[in-house]
């Protein structure tokens, strides 16, 4: 073996020995001296082991690269024969020493790069751990607040329960990830306490509804508009949901609205409105200027009692609004100037008795999507002693369909003046009783 190659191997072995000694000392110095330092010392030891392994890996890779390059160079030069050691003079020995030191310095550079790279990785991992730890601490504090608020809601004292309502509402404002959970707890409290006769319960329920109303208006920040609200089975006295905006699901299944006035005036629904077996018994139920914007709206098995049910000047767009198997016992149902854009107002299997159904309109918009017409559809309905107002003076076509219906003593009013708008009344399988007649020039069977 040539002397210069022997010197090179000796330098490499010395470098590896230094690394092994340093690694052993790091293991020895990383041992825990007290029990309190066990966890920290183990973590330090693991990090140093990973760093040493990384350095050794980079060294091995560097040696493989250098060896491959050297073999390739020798192969390219035709495997030349090197002179014997005796033929080297002092200048040649110095040159070989320079080459060996350069190789050692190269390996040192590789070690430095590996150490810096590993330190960067460790720093990034520690930063991620700090972020996760901080997030866990925040969630732990939020969970503690949630548990405390829930305990307050279950307290016997009305003052403590009222404090729990405000605490839970404040937590929902602060905890965006679990805001729906907090709202579910508030709605669950309303459902569980609907038959409660505890002192102060009415004030507490009103506080819950007030907290919800304050956070679902258009200008609320933080907002609860996108959340779901489950009011199943609740009883509302003089309910006021006017001017609110709901983008999630709102459920009033088996609920009852009573008193003098139930108001959904100027309320916007963009998600889902469910009224299954809901009872509207207030003297006046108002949905004036309501907006159903691509919302799934279902009144199924609902009962409407009182004097007035008013949907006047409302807006429907994108999806149908359906009344299925509903019973109407009010004096007047007003859908006057109800704007429909690419949708259908549908009444199916409904009963109307001793009332006026106003579907009249003037200049509001009825437009269909894709060139079609928007419409009102009455299917499998029964109308007894009613007045049906179909007066229309708008500038757009509209279609009203009545199918499989019984009209008993029903007076149908239409606009026969020159200002009457384009309208078509389509009928199929009608049973007319009690002198009920249809305007012939408006009928297509």
Inform me whether the pLDDT recorded for 325 exceeds 70: yes
The residue segments making up the domain with residue 205 are 154-225
Concatenating the DSSP letter of every residue in 133-173 gives HHHHHHHHHHHHHHHHHHHHHT-SSHHHHHHHHHHHHHHHH
- CATH code for the domain in which residue 377 is found: 2.160.20
Of the candidates 361, 360, 362, 400, which has an alpha carbon nearest to the alpha carbon of residue 381? 400
Q: Is residue 141 part of a domain?
A: no
User: pLDDT tens across 214-253, in order?
Assistant: 999 988 889 999 999 999 999 999 999 999 999 999 999 9
HSE, side-chain direction, 13 A CA sphere, residue 3: 13
Inform me whether the pLDDT recorded for 118 exceeds 90: no
- Note whether 244 and 172 are same-domain residues: no
Structural domain count of the chain:
3
In three-state secondary structure terms, 338 is: coil
Of the candidates 62, 65, 67, which has an alpha carbon nearest to the alpha carbon of residue 5? 67
Give, as one character, the DSSP assignment of residue 178: G
- Note whether 310 and 385 are same-domain residues: yes
User: Which pLDDT score, from 0 to 100, does residue 438 have?
Assistant: 85
User: Which pLDDT score, from 0 to 100, does residue 53 have?
Assistant: 66
Please indicate whether residue 309 or residue 12 has the higher confidence score (pLDDT): 309
Q: Is residue 145 part of a domain?
A: no
- Note whether 252 and 386 are same-domain residues: yes
Position 36 confidence tier, pLDDT thresholds 50, 70, 90: very low
Residue given tokens 């405000």 in the structure block: 166
- The H-or-E segment that residue 190 falls in is helix 179-192
Q: Is residue 147 part of a domain?
A: no
User: Which pLDDT score, from 0 to 100, does residue 197 have?
Assistant: 74
- Final residue of a structural domain among 106, 136, 166: 136
Q: Is residue 144 part of a domain?
A: no
- Note whether 266 and 360 are same-domain residues: yes
Query: Which segment, 168-172, 281-285, 391-395, is predicted with the most confidence on average?
Result: 281-285
- Note whether 288 and 411 are same-domain residues: yes
Q: Is residue 98 part of a domain?
A: yes
- Note whether 276 and 375 are same-domain residues: yes
User: Which pLDDT score, from 0 to 100, does residue 369 have?
Assistant: 45
Query: How many whole angstroms separate alpha carbon 252 and alpha carbon 259?
Result: 17
Q: Is residue 86 part of a domain?
A: no
Cβ neighbours of residue 369 closer than 8 Å, sequence gap 6 or more: 341, 342
Query: How many whole angstroms separate alpha carbon 411 and alpha carbon 321?
Result: 25
> How far apart, in Å, are the Cα atoms of 229 and each of 184, 209, 279, 291, 305?
7, 11, 18, 18, 25
- Note whether 70 and 189 are same-domain residues: no
Please indicate whether residue 289 or residue 341 has the higher confidence score (pLDDT): 289
Please indicate whether residue 250 or residue 45 has the higher confidence score (pLDDT): 250
At residue 230, φ and ψ (nearest 5 deg) are -115, 105
Torsion of CA 68, 69, 70, 72, to 10 degrees: 80
Q: Is residue 149 part of a domain?
A: no
Give, as one character, the DSSP assignment of residue 337: T
- Note whether 212 and 238 are same-domain residues: no
Q: Is residue 148 part of a domain?
A: no
Query: Which segment, 67-81, 266-280, 311-325, is predicted with the most confidence on average?
Result: 266-280
- Note whether 162 and 107 are same-domain residues: no
Question: Does residue 26 contact residue 121 with C-beta atoms inside 8 Å?
Answer: no
Give, as one character, the DSSP assignment of residue 294: S
- Note whether 179 and 251 are same-domain residues: no
- Final residue of a structural domain among 198, 225, 252: 225
- Note whether 398 and 414 are same-domain residues: yes
- Final residue of a structural domain among 199, 225, 251: 225
- Note whether 290 and 361 are same-domain residues: yes
User: pLDDT tens across 134-182, in order?
Assistant: 677 767 787 888 888 889 988 889 999 999 999 999 999 998 888 999 9
Query: Which segment, 12-26, 134-148, 293-307, 331-345, is predicted with the most confidence on average?
Result: 293-307
């Amino acid at each position: 073996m040539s002397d210069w190659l022997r010197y090179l191997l000796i330098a490499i072995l010395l470098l590896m020995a230094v690394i092994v000694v340093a690694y052993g000392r790091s293991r020895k110095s990383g041992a825990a001296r007290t029990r309190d330092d066990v966890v920290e010392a183990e973590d330090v030891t693991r990090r140093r082991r990973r760093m040493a392994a990384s350095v050794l890996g980079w060294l091995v890779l560097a040696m493989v690269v250098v060896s491959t390059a050297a073999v390739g160079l020798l192969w390219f030069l035709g495997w030349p024969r090197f002179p014997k050691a005796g033929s080297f003079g002092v200048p040649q020995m110095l040159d070989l020493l320079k080459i060996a030191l350069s190789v050692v310095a190269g390996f040192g550079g590789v070690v430095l790069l590996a150490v810096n790279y590993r330190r960067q990785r460790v720093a990034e991992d520690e930063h991620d751990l700090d972020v996760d730890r901080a997030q866990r601490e925040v969630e732990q504090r939020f969970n503690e607040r949630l548990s405390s608020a829930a305990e307050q809601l279950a307290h016997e004292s009305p003052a403590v329960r009222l404090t729990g309502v405000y605490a839970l509402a404040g937590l929902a404002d602060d905890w965006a990830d679990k805001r729906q959970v907090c709202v579910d707890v508030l709605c669950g409290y309303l459902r569980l306490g609907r038959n409660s006769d505890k002192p102060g319960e009415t004030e507490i329920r009103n506080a819950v509804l007030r907290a919800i109303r304050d956070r679902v208006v258009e200008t609320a920040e933080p907002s609860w508009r996108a959340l779901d609200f489950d009011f199943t089975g609740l009883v509302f006295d003089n309910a006021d949901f006017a001017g609110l905006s709901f983008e999630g699901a709102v459920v009033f299944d088996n609920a009852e609205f009573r008193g003098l006035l139930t108001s959904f005036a100027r309320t916007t629904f963009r998600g889902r409105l469910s009224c299954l077996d809901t009872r509207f018994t207030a003297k006046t139920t108002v949905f004036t200027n309501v907006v159903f914007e691509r919302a799934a709206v279902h009144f199924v098995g609902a009962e409407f009692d009182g004097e007035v049910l008013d949907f006047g000047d409302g807006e429907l767009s994108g999806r149908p609004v359906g009344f299925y198997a509903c019973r109407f016992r009010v004096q007047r149902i007003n859908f006057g100037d109800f704007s429909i854009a690419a949708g259908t107002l549908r009444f199916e299997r409904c009963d109307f008795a001793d009332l006026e159904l106003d579907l009249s309109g003037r200049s509001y918009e009825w437009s269909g999507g894709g060139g079609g017409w928007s419409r009102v559809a009455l299917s499998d309905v029964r109308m007894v002693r009613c007045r049906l107002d179909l007066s229309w003076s708008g500038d757009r076509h509209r279609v009203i369909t009545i199918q499989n219906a019984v009209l008993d003593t029903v007076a149908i009013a239409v606009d026969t003046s020159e200002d009457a708008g384009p309208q078509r009344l389509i009928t199929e399988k009608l049973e007319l009783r009690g002198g009920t007649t249809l305007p012939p020039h408006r009928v297509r069977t």
